[in-house]
Each structure stands twice: as C-alpha cells, then as structure tokens.
Structure 1
Amino acid sequence: MGTVTPFPVPQGGRAGPSQVAFDRPELSRILDLYGRMVAAGHWRDYAMDLGSEAAVFSCFRRAAERPEFRIEKRPALRNRQGMWALIGEQGAVLKRGHELGPVLAPVERRLMKLVEE
C-alpha cells in the first residue's frame, strides 16, 4: 500500500498529451462543413486519425478512394507556419494557417460552386 508508481514520461523529458485530438468547437466546424458537402452530394464518407503528432480528418467521395481532402491539426507547428493544414488528394498542402476558418475557405468556396450548379 505504501508503493507509489510514477507515470511514465515520454521521450524528450517533458510530459505532454500522448494523443492529439480535435476540440469540440473545431470538430463541430469540420463536421458542419462535412454535412453540407454530403447534402450537396459530393462527399460520402470520412475518417479520423488521432495520433501522437497530428489529428487528421479525411473526406472521401467514395470509401474505396484516397481522401479528396485531409484537414490536419499539428500542434508542434503552432509557432511556425500554423498548426492547421488543408491537404489535397495528391498530398500537396493547399492551405496552411493558425486558424481553422481560413484553412477551410477553399472547401467552402467549392461548396458554393456546387450549390449554384
């Protein structure tokens, strides 16, 4: 009863979160956009990957394809070019920034074009 076992410290010596995740407002914003794209008939599936370095939300036209867009949150890049990134189907970074709204702007513009057609 008198034995205290310390929590293991990750490599690097500092204790931080072992998993990166989306906050509720961030996930709400992403799922709102996803729902509107589904309603427009463009997206049909999504996947989330919550890892130790990044949280990734992938949007698919069909489940058997590569994701059309990936929305990545990498907190390690917070003080550099920004922790948010929008990555296209070919793996190119389409937009990067410190705030989620401007990073999602190219997808929002595409949604407007889909609705107008």
Structure 2
Amino acid sequence: MSQDPAVAAPPLPGPVFFDRRELDLILRVYGRMVAQGEWRDYSVVGHKDFAEFAVFRRSGDAPAYRIEKRPALQTRQGQWAVIGDGGQVLRRGRDLAQALRVFDGRRFQVVD
C-alpha cells in the first residue's frame, strides 16, 4: 500500500548550527585572542537560516566580531562570513579556515 505524497511531507528543517570541527576552529581563534587580552566573552546562536558566533571585548558591549554560517550562500559567495562591529563584512568564503585568517594579522603586535 502506497502512502499519499501530500500526507508524507518532508520534516521541517531545524536551526542551522556549527558542527564540532567548525567550533574547534573558531574556539582556537577565540582562545588566542583571549590570551592576547582582546576578547573576553562570546555567544553562540543557531537561527533558522544561519548560525552566529559573536565575540565581545567586554560582556556588556555589542559584538566586536560575528562569525556567521549561512548554508544558503554556499554555492554563491560562500557560507562563511566574518563581520566587524560596524556591520561591514571583513571576509567571506567557502572555507571556514580561510575566512578566519582575517584574525591572523593580529597575532603579532609591535611592542615599544
């Protein structure tokens, strides 16, 4: 006996979130920036269309940076974006490690 296609609707998609490998890459950058004293707090949120990892300089501030995963943009400009505090896109790409390289320039600082 076959099932009516109208009755067997596909399940609704859940919220977008980061997998373990993606969180590992993001938390490595976060840990490095905390050790440098630049970041102090973070939040992780899974929305319907995208996931967001926001970092804060202080707990009460607006996010200094947001790392977003938007799977719908994967075939176009890339699903990963690093967004600055003013809302400007600092880097976008298909590969998370490549997008996170925007923070590599902050690794070494000149000391007087």
TM over 0.5: yes
Compared with structure 1, are the counterparts of its residues 15 and 78 closer, same or farther at alpha carbon in structure 2 (3 Å cutoff)? farther
Percent identity reads 47
Equivalent positions of 1:1-117 (< 5 A) are: 15=11, 17-113=13-109, 116-117=110-111
Root-mean-square deviation (CA, aligned residues, Å) is 1.9
Q: Which amino acid aligns with 2:24?
A: S
The count of aligned residue pairs is 105
**Structure 1, residues 18-69: CA drift from partner, whole Å, max 9, x if none?**
1101010110010011011111111000011111100000010001111111
CA distance in 2, matches of 1:76, 1:38: 31
CA distance in 2, matches of 1:52, 1:103: 22
Deviation at 1:16, TM superposition (A): 5.6
CA distance in 1, matches of 2:44, 2:8: 27
Deviation at 1:112, TM superposition (A): 2.7
Q: Secondary structure at the match of 2:108?
A: helix
Deviation at 1:101, TM superposition (A): 1.1
CA distance in 2, matches of 1:86, 1:106: 8
Unaligned 5+ segments in structure 1 are 1-6
Q: Where do 4+ consecutive residues of structure 1 move more than 4 Å?
A: none
**Structure 1, residues 77-101: CA drift from partner, whole Å, max 9, x if none?**
0110000000000001111000011
CA distance in 2, matches of 1:52, 1:112: 37
Unaligned 5+ segments in structure 2 are 1-6
